[in-house]
Amino acid sequence: MEEHIECSWIPLEEFKKANIVVGTVKKAERVENSEKLIKFEIGIGSETRQVIGGLGLSYSPEELIEKQLLIIENLEPRPLMGLASQGMILAARDI
């Protein structure tokens, strides 16, 4: 059984600001010098975004190609290992 992690509550109005969309993985490759990070090219509508996600301990990049993932698309871009991430992947154990 997994350990429960304490969390702090956020107001529903804050959560509503997150724009959660379905994106399709077009390309995926491991981030150099990282065991868990994968660099994704994800199609969201007619746009392609680079998103860096920590799925590398559970999945190989090859098995994620053409998978559909939930993405928070309106987060401010953030550098991870020197690469810009233009969103956040939401994932559970099995994709």
36: closest CA among 15, 72, 61? 61
* Residue 61 dihedral angles phi and psi, to the nearest 5°: -55, -40
Residue 16 CA to residue 78 CA, distance in Å, equals: 21
Query: What pTM was estimated for this model as a whole?
Result: 0.85
**The residue type at 78:** R
- Contact predicate 85/42, CB 8 Å: no
What DSSP designation does 74 have? S
Bridge partner residues of 72 (DSSP): 20, 88
Per-residue pLDDT of the chain (95 residues; tens, 9 = 90+): 567 778 899 999 999 999 999 999 999 999 999 999 999 999 999 999 999 999 999 999 999 999 999 999 999 999 999 999 999 999 876 65
